[in-house]
């Protein structure tokens, strides 16, 4: 439960990109370079409705994941406590930093749980590849390790994004504040 936010966000993104690839030529089929459509096929941008749905889901999952006392307010202390638990659980080598293998394994464990008995598919493989790319984006100094500081920097940005009115707490009020464009890591 404590990790549902990122997973759901990811699955949403995967669903959107699956829509995109359904309309684009398969990359598995070699396409002659002279076919302009193949290179210019644009990725459809999410519609405003899709973006609104993603934001609503982000918010709902934010509360599911971080409002541990279920009082409708996510304090920074609650948030930090959950994040700390995830970090410790992911750091299976207990060296205080996350390797790519640790980071991807933690994600893969959660993703596999959502598949239960279903066979792993292309979306699964794409999601794992995306986890590796997320690792690279969080590893700002590119030392192939996510330090606690790098991890906490992402956590701070995520909280800040949810705390739209910037009062240091995430509540229902934040949902009515116009959103800035989500930052990319």
Residues that bind Ca ion in the complex, under the rule CB under 5 A: 67, 69, 71, 73, 139, 141, 143, 145, 147, 163, 165, 167, 169, 174
**Residue 92 phi, psi (nearest 5):** -70, -20
Pick between residue 108 and residue 136 the one whose CB is nearest to Ca ion. 136
Pick between residue 111 and residue 134 the one whose CB is nearest to Ca ion. 134
Pick between residue 70 and residue 183 the one whose CB is nearest to Ca ion. 70
Strands 145-146 and 98-99 come out as antiparallel
DSSP state of 99: E
C-alpha atoms less than 13 angstroms from C-alpha of 159 in its C-beta half-sphere: 23
Helix (H, G, I), strand (E, B) or coil at 144: coil
We find the least distance from the C-beta atom of residue 77 to Ca ion, in angstroms, to be 9
We find the least distance from the C-beta atom of residue 168 to Ca ion, in angstroms, to be 7
Q: Residue 140, exposed/middle/buried by CB under 10 A (0-12, 13-18, 19+)?
A: middle
We find the least distance from the C-beta atom of residue 128 to Ca ion, in angstroms, to be 20
Q: What is the rounded distance in angstroms from the CA atom of residue 168 to the CA atom of residue 33?
A: 52
Q: Residue 163, exposed/middle/buried by CB under 10 A (0-12, 13-18, 19+)?
A: buried
**Which residues share a beta bridge with 99?**
145
We find the least distance from the C-beta atom of residue 89 to Ca ion, in angstroms, to be 19
Pick between residue 75 and residue 130 the one whose CB is nearest to Ca ion. 75
Pick between residue 13 and residue 175 the one whose CB is nearest to Ca ion. 175
Pick between residue 126 and residue 140 the one whose CB is nearest to Ca ion. 140
Which H or E run contains 2? none
We find the least distance from the C-beta atom of residue 6 to Ca ion, in angstroms, to be 19
Contact criterion met (CB below 8 Å) for 96 and 145 = no
We find the least distance from the C-beta atom of residue 3 to Ca ion, in angstroms, to be 18
């Amino acid at each position: 439960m404590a990790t549902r936010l990122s997973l759901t966000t990811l699955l949403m993104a995967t669903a959107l990109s699956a829509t995109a690839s359904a309309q684009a030529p398969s990359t598995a089929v070699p396409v002659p370079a002279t076919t302009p459509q193949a290179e210019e096929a644009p990725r459809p941008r999410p519609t405003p409705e899709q973006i609104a749905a993603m934001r609503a889901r982000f918010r709902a999952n934010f509360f599911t994941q971080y409002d541990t006392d279920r009082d409708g307010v996510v304090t920074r202390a609650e948030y930090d406590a959950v994040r700390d638990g995830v970090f410790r659980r992911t750091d299976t080598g207990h060296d205080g930093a996350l390797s790519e293998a640790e980071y991807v394994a933690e994600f893969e464990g959660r993703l596999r749980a959502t598949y239960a008995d279903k066979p792993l598919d292309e979306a699964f493989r794409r999601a794992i590849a995306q986890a590796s790319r997320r690792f690279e984006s969080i590893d700002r100094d590119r030392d192939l390790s996510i330090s606690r500081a790098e991890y906490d920097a992402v956590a701070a940005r995520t909280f800040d994004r949810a705390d739209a009115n910037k009062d240091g707490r995430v509540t229902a009020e934040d949902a009515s504040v116009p959103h800035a464009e989500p930052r990319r890591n």
